[in-house]
């Protein structure tokens, strides 16, 4: 069967976007379509132009014997604003304040489309970093970690607060929960993360930062390097947070449990999308 | 800016596959490209043909004022075989048997690409069912649930074994763990699942079926209807499983902990892909 250019473009667009950050040898398309390399290169140029002008991502081609094409998700500023806006709107609906001033977010974490889009946003922010794995803490961070890792094409390592028989040998650290001041334990299966990995830590909520500090300590046990920390929501006006270098999508403050009222504003993430965008347009 | 057909196809292919099982009004593309509806319809026909002949999925168009186009992932038999083969190969590598005959699978659950592909496979199997939500049990089922739900475009509800303050009011049931015969509790936040939902239950491992039976009981409390149960791996030769209607990707048997040996074979899932395929080709 001979494919027309229009048909090749449909197949190739799907194949590239289904395999983000993965090098696809040009020969894969050459063989599949039984076409000259020059035609395939021209197809890729068309895809590249649309992806860049429509804020979908970057298409990179590398020459030579081991060469090929890869797609790196990189969303535009306007798309990032749209995603954050949608997330903010969701956070403002319903009565989300729970006893103790905790914010109910499990429903939001359960919307795969929003998580996918936020995954693209975070992958855009950290797209220039070399990352070997995404690390998160069970349970609520997992959906987010999956989306980010899928876009970065790296595995996820899930830290647990209990030690299950199905995890094999584990490494554990104790940490002080920033909110409750209780001492808790977190464990990570030895096999889930390679020693010396460069990791991106993601989580749903950042309050005093006790558990993220625990993660950073646990990463030291794995000789891993934390290249970034990214959270969906941070509580503003918290004193004595134990680390400062992180990104957040939203900030909440002035939590008034009695009146079910709180303020939401944009976090610092747009600074990073904007920086990327500038680099991208240079 | 005027888009050429080739450029429109790239954009539309990306837009449709990024929004599976979602109705996109034709006017969205008409406005975006400033093109006549007839040209857009012709674009869609090209995408539809490639998606069907290459086993990517089905493109449905609905006419009328509320009409539009939607993409339903539906992979081919050969693609399904390839995914199961890849999964099987992973399960056979490394020393996976843990004390007690448990199978270490956390690394596999942490590969987002494999989880994405398995999500497409399960979405293909249950694509004709009306499903409102995907339900799973924390922790290991979550990655799978996310992928499946993303493809079906429905929310995920995560059942927990502990009752966290961030979940709000919950409903809980007790169940007997089939393997250990211990009585355990599972809880689901009231807000995460709407009453009367039609749910697909997914999990990583099915042994005696105690926890899935617990899920089924918990679903009754939500007046929810379980339309399917799908697991990645089932242990064969288990007597007295409390329910019989489920699908599995792989079956393991003859677990020999001492010699780190076990048998793996294909589960029953291909029966469902094949049936779908037959229907699809009619």
Average pLDDT over every residue of A79-106: 92
At B112 the three-state DSSP class reads: helix
* Residues of chain A contacting residue B94, judged by C-beta atoms under 8 Å apart: 191
Q: Which residues of A touch B14 (CB under 8 A)?
A: 13, 17, 51, 56
Interface membership of A190 toward B (CB under 8 Å): no
What whole-number distance in Å separates Cα of residue B96 and Cα of residue B252? 12
* pLDDT tens-digit map of B198-256: 999 999 999 889 999 999 999 999 999 999 999 999 998 666 676 778 999 999 999 88
B102 touches chain A (CB under 8 A): yes
Neighbours of A37 (CB within 10 A): 11
Measuring CA to CA, which residue among A125, A129, A120, A128 is closest to residue A147?
Answer: A120
What mean pLDDT comes out for the span B16-40? 96
Q: Judge whether B260 is closer than 8 Å to chain A, CB to CB.
A: no
> What's the residue count for chain B?
282
Give alpha helix (H) positions in chain A.
5-18, 26-33, 37-53, 77-92, 106-109, 112-125, 141-152, 210-221, 269-281
Report whether pLDDT(B280) > 90.
Answer: no
How does the average pLDDT of chain B come out, rounded? 92
**Any chain A CB within 8 A of the CB of B112?**
yes
- Predicted TM-score of the model (pTM): 0.95
pLDDT range class, residue A281, cuts 50, 70, 90: very low
> Residues A233-269: pLDDT tens digits?
999 866 667 677 899 999 999 988 888 899 999 999 9
A100 close to B (CB below 8 A): yes
Cβ of B158 within 8 Å of Cβ of A106? The answer is yes
Q: Measured between CB atoms, which of B5, B14, B100 is closest to A6?
A: B5
| pLDDT range class, residue A1, cuts 50, 70, 90 | low
> Could you tell me which of B243, B232, B233, B236 has the C-alpha nearest to residue B209?
B243
Instruction: Please report, for residues A192, B13, B177, the alpha-carbon distance to residue A186 in angstroms, rounded to integers and kept in the order given.
Output: 14, 43, 24
Option in A54, A189, A192 nearest B11 (CB): A54
Q: How confident is the model at residue A279 (pLDDT cuts 50, 70, 90)?
A: very low
Question: Which residues neighbour B32 within 8 Å (Cβ) at sequence distance 6 or greater?
Answer: B11
Which of A115, A142, A170, A185 is the mutation pick for testing B, counting most B CBs within 10 A?
Answer: A142
Among chain A residues, CA nearest to B141: A142
Query: Which chain A residue's Cα is nearest to B191?
Result: A107
Q: Which tens digit of pLDDT belongs to each residue from A183-195?
A: 999 999 999 999 9
Q: Which among A17, A146, A165 is the nearest to B143, CB-wise?
A: A146
Question: Which among A21, A30, A22, A25 is positioned nearest to A8, based on CA atoms?
Answer: A30
Give A170→chain B minimum CA distance, Å.
12
Q: Which of A155, A142, A132, A138 is nearest to A112 (CA)?
A: A142
Distance CA(A251)–CA(A238), nearest Å, equals 11
Q: Which of A7, A116, A191 sits opposite B107 (nearest CB)?
A: A191
Q: How many beta-carbon contacts under 8 Å exist across A and B?
A: 164
**Domains with residue ranges and CATH for chain A:** 5-73 (1.10.10.10), 77-281 (3.40.50.2020)
Mean of pLDDT values over A23-29: 96
* Separation between Cα atoms, residue A118 and residue A121, nearest integer Å: 5
* Greater pLDDT, A273 or A41: A41
Name which of B99, A4, A69, A155 is nearest A146 in CA terms: A155
In tens, the pLDDT along B33-55 reads 999 999 999 999 999 999 999 99
Distance CA B94, CA B235 (A): 19
What distance in Å separates the CA atoms of residue B153 and residue B163, rounded to the nearest whole number? 27
- From the CA of A242, how many Å to the nearest CA of chain B? 23
Q: Which of A1, A120, A145, A166 has the highest number of chain B CBs within 10 A, making it the mutation to test binding with B?
A: A166
Which candidate in B8, B29, B106, B211 is best for mutational testing of the A interface (most A CBs within 10 A)? B106
pLDDT at A32 over 90: yes
What does the pLDDT average to over B276-281?
48
Under 8 Å between Cβ of B241 and B208:
yes
- B107–A192 CB contact, under 8 Å: yes
User: What pLDDT shows up at residue B19?
Assistant: 97
pLDDT of residue B99: 85
What ipTM describes this predicted complex?
0.94
pLDDT tens string A132-150: 999 999 999 999 999 999 9
Choose from A1, A3, A6 for mutation: most chain B CBs within 10 A: A6
**Is B18 close to A17, i.e. CB distance below 8 A?**
yes
């Amino acid at each position: 069967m001979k494919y027309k250019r229009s048909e090749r473009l449909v197949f190739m667009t799907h194949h590239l976007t289904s395999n983000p950050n993965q090098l696809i040898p040009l020969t894969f398309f050459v063989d599949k379509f039984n076409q000259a390399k020059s035609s395939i290169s021209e197809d890729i140029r068309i895809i590249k132009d649309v992806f860049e002008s429509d804020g979908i991502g970057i298409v990179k081609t590398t020459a030579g014997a081991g060469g090929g094409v890869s797609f790196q998700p990189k969303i535009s500023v306007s798309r990032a604003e749209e995603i954050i806006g949608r997330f903010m709107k969701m956070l403002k609906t319903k009565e989300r304040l729970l006893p103790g001033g905790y914010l109910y977010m499990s429903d939001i974490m359960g919307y795969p489309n929003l998580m996918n889009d936020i995954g693209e946003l975070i992958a855009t922010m950290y797209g220039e970093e070399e990352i070997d794995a995404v690390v998160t803490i069970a349970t609520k961070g997992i959906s987010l970690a999956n989306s980010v890792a899928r876009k970065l094409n790296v595995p996820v390592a899930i830290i647990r607060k209990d030690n299950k028989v199905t995890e094999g040998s584990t490494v554990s650290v104790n940490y002080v929960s920033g909110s409750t001041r209780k001492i808790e334990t977190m464990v990570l299966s030895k096999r889930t993360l390679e020693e010396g990995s460069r990791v991106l830590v993601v989580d749903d909520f950042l309050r005093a930062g006790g558990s993220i500090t625990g993660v950073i300590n646990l990463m030291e046990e794995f000789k891993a390097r934390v290249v970034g920390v990214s959270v969906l929501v941070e509580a503003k006006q918290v004193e004595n947070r134990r680390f400062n270098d992180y990104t957040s999508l939203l900030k909440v403050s002035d939590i008034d449990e009695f009146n079910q009222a709180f303020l939401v504003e944009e976090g610092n993430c747009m600074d990073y999308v904007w920086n990327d965008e500038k680099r991208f347009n240079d």
